[in-house]
Amino acid sequence: MAGHPRPATPTASSAEEAHRGAFSSRRVFILAAIGSAAGLGNIWRFPYVAYENGGGAFVIPYLVALLSAGIPFLLFDYAIGHRYRGSAPLSFRRMGRAGEVLGWWQVGICAVIAVYYAVIIAWAARYALFSFGQTWGDDPNEFLFVDFLQVAEPGLGLEFVPGVLVPLALVWLTILVIMLLGVQRGIGAASVVFIPLMVLAFLALVVRSLFLPGAAAGLDALFTPDWSALADTGVWAAAFGQVFFSLSVGFGIMITYASYVGRRTDMTGSGLVVGFSNSGFELLAGIGVFAALGFMAQASGLRIDEVATDGLGLAFVAFPAIISEAPAGQLIGVLFFGCLVLAGLTSLISVIEVVISGVRDKLDLGRLGATLLVGVPTATVSVLLFATTTGVPILDTADYFINQFGIVLVAGVSVLVVTWVYRDLPDLRAHMNATASLRLGRWWMLLIGVITPAVLGYVLVQELRNALEAPYGDYPAWFVNTMGWGVAIGVVVVAVVISLLPWSSRTSLDTPLPLADATRPVRKGARQ
């Protein structure tokens, strides 16, 4: 690898790992990675994407996307974090001087996501409580936007909504406590508790939904194949987009988590478990959600396509209606919104850890200092922007732009730079294969270096065309330019500025020794 800095000694590397923190075992790492991947999108996005894009036939493009892009990209992120033993900025910096910008770009995207993601968890927590009294009444849509969120016109305001402010503050308090406890005692312990709890709760929800009248009609709508959809490139793009967003790849999370894993851990086997667990949870969510929607359609005398929806509409409008109509609806409400809270918390933890980890490495701060330096401003901005009556349009716009023109773009640029500028894929592959239960062949490099950027480029161009044809969400142009394009571009500018700042002299920018060399006894006189 031409241009790489001098390798560090194994001793220096071990001391650095002791300073940064680590997961205590492979099991904890896998649970944390599943917690990051299995988020809100698994529950409220996948079912509708599958339904809209061929139903049962969607299984085919979905599996192709999972095996040809999703899991290979997951392993690509693992390889970077595990090989270079650092946060996203430090890992890319160790790869090459200019690479650091990519790392801070990913950190910036995570900071933006963290700011708005927390408020959705706060809404879900409130709705779990609302389920007991079915507070939304006969019109969940009006209750959500008028009574609960008190949504105002797009803009910036400081009119707080107490019903959102209090749970949002509690979400941030919870997150800060978990992050302060550190990698193992905070992130690891939370994952070990939250993930099994979430899976059990969702299983209970699925079982309850399957016994509702009309459930079979819902499943029929979800799984009836429309084979003509396979000829539609949009369906294939939707499958790749779903797998890509769902796995939390390409924006620093998996790099950060992989850097906390022991050097001799089998990463390919772990990656397969994480990838299939994420898809398994999505499938479970699809069954549970469409069984419930089938009941709703039957109860209201509507067709499935008239009740099927995704995102906020599914979670905070359709499900409250289902809860109001269904026998033991309160149980469904607590399980569904409880799962949203748990899925959201474990994902938010991973997102904010990317930022904390980057700041820790850059400034060589302790866990306490870095958590407070990152967590307090992030929580403050989150509360100021999203506990107000103007929060929803900002969330909607920022979420769309940071996903489509942030994550997709940085992921595509990262694979291109690592593959074609630093030409690092052979080294990363060798690193993974040194401890792999399933070895990566040359096919992996082909998928990462050629197929993945091509698919990401296609998705990006399609979305760019849509965004330029009509203003997003019928919002005013100034609003979209500020909260959409402004945020997506601003993150890149900030990343460039931070990458120009010096690193702490105590942070080693040397590349860790390759695994085979690091495990070999160091002889006297060997290169130090």
Partner 1 sequence: MSGAAIVMMLVAMLVIWGGLALAVLNLLRYHGEEPGEVRRDL
In whole angstroms, how close is the CB of 188 to partner 1 at the nearest point? Answer: 8
For the segment 247-286, give every residue that binds partner 1 (CB under 8 A): 261-266, 269-270, 272-273, 275-277, 279-280, 283
Burial 181-220 (b: 16+ CB within 10 A, else e): bbbbebbbbbbbebbeebbebbebbbebbbebebbebbbe
**Cβ–Cβ < 8 Å for 449, 418:** no
In whole angstroms, how close is the CB of 437 to partner 1 at the nearest point? Answer: 4
Site string for partner 1, 394-423 (x = CB under 8 A): ------------------------------
What is the total count of residues that contact partner 1 (CB under 8 A)?
A: 47
Q: Does 350 help bind partner 1 (rule: CB under 8 A)?
A: no
**Cα dihedral sign for 68, 345, 209, 48?**
negative
**What DSSP element (H or E) covers 308?**
none
**Cβ–Cβ < 8 Å for 356, 179:** yes
Q: Does 228 help bind partner 1 (rule: CB under 8 A)?
A: no
Interface with partner 1 by CB under 8 A: which range of 85-93, 177-185, 191-199, 299-307?
A: 177-185
Q: Give the residue among 204, 190, 197 at the shortest CA–CA distance from 284.
A: 204
Could you tell me which residues come within 8 angstroms of residue 282 by beta carbon, excluding any fewer than 6 positions away? Answer: 38, 42, 46, 246
Residue 106 CA to residue 64 CA, distance in Å, equals 26
Residue 231 CA to residue 351 CA, distance in Å, equals 36
Site string for partner 1, 352-391 (x = CB under 8 A): --------------xx------------------------
Q: Does 223 help bind partner 1 (rule: CB under 8 A)?
A: yes
Interface with partner 1 by CB under 8 A: which range of 56-64, 113-121, 380-388, 389-397?
A: 56-64
Residue 122 CA to residue 170 CA, distance in Å, equals 8
**Cβ–Cβ < 8 Å for 410, 496:** no
Which of 4, 12, 17, 509 touches partner 1 (CB under 8 A)?
A: 17
Which of 435, 462, 481, 507 touches partner 1 (CB under 8 A)?
A: 435
Q: Does 155 help bind partner 1 (rule: CB under 8 A)?
A: no
- Residue ranges in contact with partner 1 by CB under 8 A: 17-19, 21-26, 55-57, 59, 63, 182-185, 216, 219-220, 222-225, 261-266, 269-270, 272-273, 275-277, 279-280, 283, 287, 366-367, 435, 437-438
